[in-house]
Amino acid sequence: MFEISGFDTAGVVSLKRLSLAAALKKARELVEDGCWDVQIVDPAGQVYTSFEEQAA
């Protein structure tokens, strides 16, 4: 399970997706919607944040 987390004006956003592709898609959507400090943590504990630059 891939965990996506970040922040928006209401507080913490925390979601889960079954695949990295689905997690990356959702993370990009969150960034486009104005969330910040968005990251993905994979089942092994690897943290992904580089998708933020691709959201533009």
Query: If you write DSSP's letter for every residue of the chain in order, what string do you get?
Result: -EEEEEEETTEEEEEEESSHHHHHHHHHHHHHTT-EEEEEE-TT--EE-GGGGGG-
β-sheet bridge partners, residue 41: 3, 47
Q: What local confidence, expressed as pLDDT, does residue 31 receive?
A: 93
Residues of the chain with pLDDT under 70: 51-56
Question: What confidence tens digit (pLDDT) does each residue in 12-21 have?
Answer: 999 999 999 9
Q: In terms of pTM, does the model score above 0.75? A: yes
